[in-house]
Amino acid sequence: MNRASWGSRLGFILAVAGSAVGLANIWRFPYLVGYHGGAAFIILYFICLALIGFPTFIAEILIGRSTQTNPDSAFRQLGGKNWSWGGKLTIITGFIVASFYSAVAGWILGYFIEAALGNLHLFTEPNQVVDYHSTLMNTPWWGVLFHFIFMMGATSVLFFGVRNGIERGNKIMMPLLFVILFLLVAQGLSMPNAKEGLTFLFYPDWSVITPATFLIALSQAFFTLSVGQGTLVTYGSYLKKEENLITSAFPIIIIDTLVSILASVAVFTIVFSTGLKPDAGPDLLFHTLPWAFSQITGGYFLAFLFFLLVTIAALTSEISALEPLIAWLVDEKGWKRTKAVLVAGLGAFCLGIPSALSFNLLKEHTWQDQTFFDWTHWLASDLLIPIGGILAVILVGWKWGADKAINHLMQGASVTFKRSPWLKIYFKFCFKYCSPFLILLVFLSIIGLFR
């Protein structure tokens, strides 16, 4: 049987961009910037992207493209039998991400429905917004129901396969996402105090930067690029070997970064124009914004568009977190795609239920003061994703060998490398030394070695 592949280069770019652009761009990035010194955080984030994010991103796609198979067998082919555990670990990571990500995205979908029903732009007091949010979060069935509907949405795209499902879905959803984002930015910029929001966003406040900020910037870069969760290896495995990987991957990084910045512009200009501050942390989305929407003309449409934007972004990422397990079940176990999608989707839904209930029924069930959601989120984002990333760069830089890997990278990209010969040095330096060393540093500090 022929292995699935992308129908076009644009299809690959939009699918990977769809995976990258998600809650981390539209929700997390603006509040991190708001909290960690505006442009100072953005500059730190760019450094993390250049030295660690981009090389790891390329390394993972390269592993997939060169082996044309799922992460388990790809790691085995390049590194030998023992490396297959590394590949399996990344698939498990993707699965765990898919579980809690869907629970969180369920709230966003629920908020989109609230916005569509006209319930998110008529608040007259800030407390009402907080109470409204608490009431929803304290309703167990609400979170689980929308977690289920969201998972159904993701699996129904996945059922149709790589070209007709993932690629086609992203070709529809990503342009829609850009249109909505531009509408929101245009609206934000036309508001009375937009300048204040922009000044806050682009003024670098270095006084709040600490070594911990570097870790936060790196984990943001990793999470947003979907590194370490098997997605990039799997999506890379559907890419033809003669594709120019550099010119296909670079626009994705630009799109992902641009979406983060534009989302921040939209959020900051809207929030500042209503006299609020964007430093409320995760509550920015559920408290600050609905209150802001309640105070401006056209609040209904803004709320509707904003939550639609976030739902679409989350859906394309959810799809990509489930695909590695599906590819593994199809490649390694010989399952039909429909059965694999059903089992992966159902499994992630079940694992996501305790996460969805961590804010109500299971709130008191904690271990070391952390709920189930906190634990799974920590396990995947802080532990398994960096491990997956470091394994990929060590596999490429040391086990497979940086020179061999770069030769493979040059396949389809010889003109690009001829035009920019420094790329060879950059990738060799990053694959072999810079990225593994920096990720290791981050990892050690996450597990508390430098506390």
Give contact residues for ligand ALA (rule: CB under 6 A).
Answer: 19-20, 22-25, 223-224, 226, 317
Q: State which residue, 25 or 170, has the beta carbon closest to ligand ALA.
A: 25
Find tokens 């007259």 and name the residue: 124
Q: State which residue, 84 or 317, has the beta carbon closest to ligand ALA.
A: 317
CB of 26 to ligand ALA, least distance (A): 8
130 residue type, one letter: V
Give 190: exposed, middle or buried? Use CB within 10 Å, 0-12, 13-18, 19+. Answer: exposed
Measured distance CA(145)–CA(150) in Å, rounded? 9
Q: State which residue, 56 or 317, has the beta carbon closest to ligand ALA.
A: 317
Measured distance CA(146)–CA(152) in Å, rounded? 10
CB of 227 to ligand ALA, least distance (A): 9
339 residue type, one letter: K
Measured distance CA(114)–CA(148) in Å, rounded? 17
Measured distance CA(248)–CA(160) in Å, rounded? 24
CB of 151 to ligand ALA, least distance (A): 15
Q: State which residue, 20 or 329, has the beta carbon closest to ligand ALA.
A: 20
Provide the CA 199 distance to its chain's centre, in angstroms. Answer: 27
Q: State which residue, 108 or 194, has the beta carbon closest to ligand ALA.
A: 108
DSSP symbols for 179-204: HHHHHHHHHHHTSTTHHHHHHHHHSB
CB of 273 to ligand ALA, least distance (A): 26
Measured distance CA(231)–CA(92) in Å, rounded? 11
Q: Are 101 and 314 in contact (CB under 8 A)?
A: yes
CB of 267 to ligand ALA, least distance (A): 15
Q: State which residue, 102 or 248, has the beta carbon closest to ligand ALA.
A: 102
CB of 20 to ligand ALA, least distance (A): 5
Instruction: Kindly report the length of the chain.
Output: 451
Provide the CA 28 distance to its chain's centre, in angstroms. Answer: 10
Q: State which residue, 104 or 413, has the beta carbon closest to ligand ALA.
A: 104
Find tokens 């690029």 and name the residue: 225
Tokens encoding 115: 């916005």
CB of 25 to ligand ALA, least distance (A): 5
Residue nearest to ligand ALA (CB): 22
Q: State which residue, 392 or 413, has the beta carbon closest to ligand ALA.
A: 392
Element (DSSP H or E) covering residue 59: helix 54-67
CB of 45 to ligand ALA, least distance (A): 13
